[in-house]
């Protein structure tokens, strides 16, 4: 999936969330036609050799492995680079390899030690990689179902060629009928491929949820900017999962919602403390009301009914939004960032 830049994927998801039409349909159609031409002789051969069900199982397992790989390749190291830890010293002294539990503990510790920017980059890479994989997989599954469904009624696949004299002879017809029954059963099992997208979404989100859960304590204590930059890709990814498979997945939505509920009171407490400190240290005197102050006031009034776009520029992953935010950061710091507010 490396041929699809994450920035382009995020732009497409953002536009799709705003109601734009999907402009990748023509590419999917061309890919589907090429895939169909390649699959027909392969599936016919698998059907005639009664390996269709086994092949579909192998394909399903390969897809699940690939989804896991798309996540794991971006994870931090699960080896212990801390020379001062007791575990590391013990393993070096004994020369033994770490156990699976030890590697899991090390990975969890390394995930918690990431800076606020590192998880953002990790989730964007993972979500975009899985999203592009799901989109391609959906095309493959549709073509597979279409071709296999056609094999059900294709006499040249289900039934061997019979001579005119053998049509009325049950003894001659029975092997053909037996083969047809077996192949029908193979095809019925292979048609369970329609559940593959749902299974892949559940598995991918299950693996991602493990990472989210490990970093919960760090996530709920992020500043507002970093939290929104973390939350937005999660929402876009859930939307993409539902658009492709018809199944949004509940695990990912559940843990993100819980983190939102934990984040809000913590942010409220931190901002209240900052406000109190600012009021106590503020030197009250007459100052001129500058245009920038008027803009801040206008945004505050607008926030009573809707979120000002200037406040949410860093949650816009469209190309225009990203470029505008980069330009804004080059000019002046954002007045409402949690780490600069008050």
* CB neighbour list of residue 337: distance below 8 Å, 6 or more residues apart: 223, 224, 225
- Distance from C-alpha of 338 to C-alpha of 266, rounded to nearest angstrom: 12
Q: Tell me the domain boundaries of the chain.
A: 6-78+110-154+177-269
Cα separation, 2 vs 118, whole angstroms: 19
- Integer CA distances (angstroms), 5 to 8, 161, 266, in order: 5, 51, 35
CB burial string 129-163: b at 16+ within 10 A, e below:
bbbbbbbbbbbbbbbbeebbeebeeeeebbeeeee
Q: Quote the tokens at residue 20.
A: 């734009």
Tell me what pLDDT residue 169 has. 42
In degrees to the nearest 10, what's the CA dihedral of 150, 154, 158, 161? Answer: -160
Residue 170, judged by CB atoms within 10 A of its CB (0-12, 13-18, 19+), counts as exposed
Helix (H, G, I), strand (E, B) or coil at 12: helix
pLDDT at 91: 53
**pLDDT value at residue 181:** 54
> Mapping DSSP to helix (H, G, I), strand (E, B) and coil, where does residue 37 land?
helix
Q: What is the pLDDT of residue 219?
A: 93
Token readout for 150 is 């056609």
Could you tell me if 125 and 231 are in contact, meaning their C-beta atoms sit under 8 angstroms apart? no
pLDDT at 338: 36
User: Please, is 271 exposed, middle or buried when counting C-beta atoms within 10 Å of its C-beta (0-12, 13-18, 19+)?
Assistant: middle
Q: How many helices (H) and strands (E) does the chain have?
A: 14, 0
Under-50 pLDDT residues of the chain: 1, 83-84, 86, 153-179, 319, 322, 325-326, 329-342
Q: Give me the pLDDT at residue 315, please.
A: 63
């Amino acid at each position: 999936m490396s041929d699809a830049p994450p920035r382009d994927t995020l732009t497409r998801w953002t536009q799709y969330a705003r109601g734009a039409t999907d402009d990748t349909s023509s590419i999917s159609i061309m890919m589907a036609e090429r895939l169909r031409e390649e699959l027909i002789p392969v599936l016919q051969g698998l059907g005639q050799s009664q390996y269709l069900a086994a092949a579909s199982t192998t394909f399903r397992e390969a897809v699940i492995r690939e989804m896991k790989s798309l996540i794991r390749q971006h994870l931090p190291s699960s080896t212990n680079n801390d020379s001062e830890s007791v575990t590391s010293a013990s393993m070096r002294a004994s020369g033994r390899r770490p156990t699976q539990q030890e590697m899991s503990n090390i990975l969890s510790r390394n995930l918690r030690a990431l800076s606020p920017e590192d998880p953002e980059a990790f989730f964007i890479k993972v979500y975009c990689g899985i999203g592009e994989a799901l989109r391609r997989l959906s095309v493959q599954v549709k073509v597979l179902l279409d071709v296999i469904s056609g094999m059900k009624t294709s006499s040249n696949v289900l039934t061997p060629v019979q001579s005119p004299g053998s049509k009325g002879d049950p003894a001659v017809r029975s092997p053909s009928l037996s083969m047809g029954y077996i192949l029908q059963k193979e095809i019925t099992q292979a048609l369970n491929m329609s559940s593959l997208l749902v299974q892949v979404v559940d598995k991918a989100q299950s693996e991602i949820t493990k990472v989210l859960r490990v970093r919960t304590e760090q996530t709920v204590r992020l500043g507002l900017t970093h939290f929104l930059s973390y939350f937005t890709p999660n929402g876009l990814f859930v939307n993409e999962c539902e658009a492709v498979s018809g199944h949004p997945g509940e695990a990912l939505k559940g843990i993100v919602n819980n983190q939102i509920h934990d984040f809000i009171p913590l942010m409220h407490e931190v901002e209240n403390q900052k406000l109190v400190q600012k009021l106590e240290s503020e030197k009250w005197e007459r100052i001129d009301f500058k245009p920038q102050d008027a803009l801040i006031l206008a945004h505050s009034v607008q926030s009573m009914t809707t979120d000002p776009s200037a406040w949410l520029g860093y949650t816009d992953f469209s190309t225009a939004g990203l470029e505008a935010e980069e330009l804004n950061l080059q000019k002046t710091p954002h007045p409402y960032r949690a780490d600069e507010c008050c």
